[in-house]
Amino acid sequence: MDQKKTGQFLKKLRNEKGLTQEQLAREFNVTNRSVSRWETGSNLPDISLLVDIADFYDVDVREIIDGERKSEMMDNEIREVADKMADYSNEEKRKKYFWIQVAGVLGVCFSFSSVVLQVQCFEQTIGRAAALLGSFLAFVIMCLVTLYVTGLLQKIARHKKVVLAVKIITVVILAIGAYYMFLGLLSIGVFALSAGFAKIQVYTDPADYNKTIHTGNTTGEFADAYFHEFDILPEKLDGLDVEELSVTYYNPWDGQYVVYMTIDYDEASYETEIERLSGFGVEEEYVNYYSVTGEPEGYDLVAMNSDEYKGFVYAMIPEGKTDNTEITYCAIWFCNFCLDLDVHEYMPDKYLLPGFDATEDNPYKDYMWEKISSETQPEL
């Protein structure tokens, strides 16, 4: 067998088709270098490709091997032998790559499961978005590897319409992923900017009380300053004997409050206010929220509005004090199970509910997120 003669014949057939080496390489899913080596005679196509090349050029396998056209077509027996040789070669490859194929299929299943689980539990954070993107890329890579070792990739590559459809689907999926990642990064960026520009505002003048409490506004900076839980706090301080007042407001994303004030009423006004506060009652549910164990030492709660998510608003009077006319009001209000402010810096410890912990790593936060996660998981 003259390999150079065979190579020249292959080159002649390609030129008759009007194809470049690059175009032929794409047709058979091989490299340009492989086609060049065929045509220089330094190497020959795999036996599994000979029948496909012969069909493509409309010649016999024997003609390719001999490097010239024959007047007679290869008989069916020879073609059958060539087909069997190609099948044998493919069978050997299948045996060789069997465990690689199994590993590839398992890898596709696991990576797909990872993507699905991360989509179900997705939160718009950089870490979660990067993890989801990485899992998706791993899934795509495992699919390509599996298709290659099973031989399906070569077959798919020969169908241009299928290849085009796969490309379009891939681009669409990547575009959707990029869109959601962009939204996640955008929301994080907006949050970071708002948190960076937010300032802690502290008011100690009764004249400024309604800037953040009972504003009556539905728009503007303090649009979120009305909560029905705040009804425990006096609507206005005009004409009242305010002995101490501190209203701390911070809004990096959602409004957060640390409020305490003590008002000394005249006897009649005190009775009226106590009667008003008694209408709220003291919710026993507040115990255990944010690790709270009870009322502040030395005080009796007369009103309590609590929320397992947002915090506490309460009023209290000195314990065992006769002829008392003083009422102390407190509010610690936030969101996401965490207070960004150091509550000890903005409220005296004697007014704090004992055990209260709303720091970043407070155990109640972990407990609530775990509870929410378990409640939102679908039943199997």
Place of tokens 């004409």: 239
Q: 228 and 361 in one domain? A: yes
Return the higher-pLDDT residue of 185 and 330: 330
Closest CA to 130 of 188, 61, 86: 188
Q: Where residue 109 falls among pLDDT bands split at 50, 70, 90?
A: confident
| Nearest to 302, CA basis, from 313, 287, 317, 283 | 317
Alpha helices in the chain (DSSP H): 3-17, 21-27, 32-40, 47-57, 61-66, 76-96, 98-120, 126-149, 152-157, 160-197, 267-278, 343-346, 363-376
Q: Nearest Cα to 237, choosing from 205, 191, 198?
A: 205
In tens, the pLDDT along 195-227 reads 556 789 999 999 999 887 886 544 444 444 456
State the average pLDDT over residues 52-61.
85
CA dihedral 147, 14, 39, 12 (to 10 degrees): 160
Q: Do 261 and 244 meet the contact criterion of CB atoms below 8 Å apart?
A: yes
Residues 307 and 172 in one domain: no
Q: How far apart are CA 257 and CA 251, in angstroms?
A: 9
Q: Same domain for 226 and 350?
A: yes
Residues 225-249: tens digit of each pLDDT: 456 888 999 989 999 999 999 999 9
pLDDT for res 155: 67
Residues 311 and 371 in one domain: yes
Domain end call among 61, 95, 129: 95
Residue 107 confidence (pLDDT): 79
Same domain, 229 and 354: yes
User: How confident is the prediction for the chain on average, in pLDDT?
Assistant: 81
- In terms of average pLDDT, the best of 50-59, 103-112, 136-145, 155-164 is 50-59
Query: Hey, what long-range contacts does 334-340 have (CB within 8 A, 24 or more apart)?
Result: 334/254, 334/256, 334/257, 334/310, 334/358, 335/254, 335/256, 335/309, 335/310, 336/254, 337/309, 337/362, 337/364, 337/365, 337/368, 337/369, 338/362, 338/365, 339/256, 339/258, 339/311, 340/250, 340/252, 340/256
Are 90 and 66 spatial neighbours (Cβ–Cβ below 8 Å)?
no
Same domain for 236 and 157, yes or no, is no
**Quick check: 358 pLDDT over 80?**
yes
Q: Is the pLDDT of residue 271 over 80?
A: yes
Band (pLDDT 50/70/90 cuts) for residue 73 is very low
Q: What integer pLDDT is reported at residue 273 of this predicted model?
A: 96
At 316-357, the pLDDT tens digits run 999 999 899 999 999 999 988 999 999 999 999 999 999 999
Q: Which of 95, 110, 134 is the last residue of a domain?
A: 95
Confidence category of residue 277, pLDDT binned at 50, 70, 90: very high
Please tell me whether residues 110 and 142 are part of one structural domain: yes
Pair (102, 27) in one structural domain? no
* Phi (first) and psi of residue 315, to 5 degrees: -130, 145
> Does one domain contain both 111 and 185?
yes
pLDDT of 282: 93
Q: Are 232 and 335 in a shared domain?
A: yes
pLDDT classification of 191: cutoffs 50, 70, 90:
low
As given in the structure block, the two tokens for residue 206 are 């009764």
- Supply the pLDDT for residue 327: 98
Domain span including residue 143: 98-196
